[in-house]
Structure 1
Amino acid sequence: MRGLIWNCRGVGKKGMATCLSDMISDHSLDFLGLQETMKKKFTPKCLRRIDPFDIFQWNWVPSIGKSGGILCGVRRDTLDIIS
């Protein structure tokens, strides 16, 4: 099982979605956790840029103001989310 936990300090930065998508495929990640996303919500379009083949189940905790926010993704065919 391979995973990545990263304090990314803003997931909306230019090139970040491509970077994350490349990391997922290059390292065959099973889970991804991003801290300090600085986003209140993630649209399907935003998640599709990170995960173009929709292989991850995504959940998030919204940021409060300009700090915080967590995005977590787990590979659907490897892991199950229980609650």
Structure 2
Amino acid sequence: MRGLIWNCRGVGKKGMATCLSDLISDHSLDFLGLQETMKKNFSPICLRKIDPSSIFEWVWIPSCGKSGGIIAGARKDILDLSY
């Protein structure tokens, strides 16, 4: 099982979605956790940029102002997410 936990300090930066998508595919990740996302919500379009094949299930905790925010994703066929 392979995963990545990263303090990304802002997931809305230019090129971040492509970077995350490449990390998922290049390293065959089974789960991904990002902290300090600085986002209150993740739209389906944003999640599709990170996970174009929709193989991950996503949950998140919104940021408070300009700090915080956590998102976690796990492959639907391997893991179940609950919070």
TM over 0.5: yes
Shift of 1:82: 4.7
Aligned residues: CA RMSD: 0.8
Could you list the runs of 5+ residues in structure 1 that have no partner in the other structure? none
Aligned residues: 83
- What does residue 7 of structure 2 align with? 7
Deviations 1:11-60 (A, max 9, x none): 00000000000000000000000000000000000000000000000000
Cα separation, 2, equivalents of 1:52 and 1:65: 28
- What does residue 48 of structure 2 align with? 48
Aligned CA distance change for structure 1 residues 39 and 82 (closer, same or farther; 3 Å): closer
What SS does structure 2 have at the residue aligned with 1:17?
helix
Q: Percent of counterpart pairs with the same letter?
A: 77
**Correspondence 1:1-83 to 2 at 5 A:** 1-83=1-83
